[in-house]
Structure 1
Amino acid sequence: MDLAQEKLNGMLKAAGLPVRPSYRRSEVCLILGVSERTFWRMVAAYDQELDGSPRLPWTLDSYMTRGHHRVRYQELVDFLARNRTITRKFDDPNQMDLPL
């Protein structure tokens, strides 16, 4: 189990949700701690590169069933891994040293 999957399983446990193949919008908002509005931005901005990776790392791939958006478990794992990597690559190492 990789770090992102382990982290997601901990987030699911904290939210009181079982591991499932996919999650509804409200559950994704609870898991990630985002508002419904932020969820819609993440879903609406999703677009793939030619290699299949998302153009913007902070977006989520979703699908619809009976008019409801759902996000796959693996997409949540990939989302956490992408954003952890982006943060590590592009963060300012002196950020904590900046004056208040």
Structure 2
Amino acid sequence: MNGIYVLKLPKIPSKTRYKSIVAEGSGEYEIKGKIYLGKTLDDWTLDSDFTIYSYNGENVLNEIKFNSDDEKFVRIEISQNASNIKLEFTKVLYESVSEKMEFKKP
């Protein structure tokens, strides 16, 4: 059974972009999946594949990285049987966008 999660991204400050979503589950797990981005709920583009895991609560990788410009929605598809694991998406991380500046001598 595949799991599908659709999330609406919160508004972030101008001159920033989304970079990842933090997902957490209970117990030990390793989950592989795909992340899609969309400007609407009817238009999805594959961004990347991901793997998140938690072993013994110490060895943890829980960031799903993606590159977003102006998409408002994220679709996360889990490609394996993870029905016994309930994921919670606790936060979205973003970063500032560096702008190129040109200086011209008069």
* TM tier relative to shorter chain: under 0.3
Higher relative contact order (CA 8 A, sep 6+): 2
More strand by share: 2
TM-score, L = length of structure 1: 0.27
TM-score, L = length of structure 2: 0.26
Q: Flag the structure with larger Rg.
A: 2
More helix by share: 1
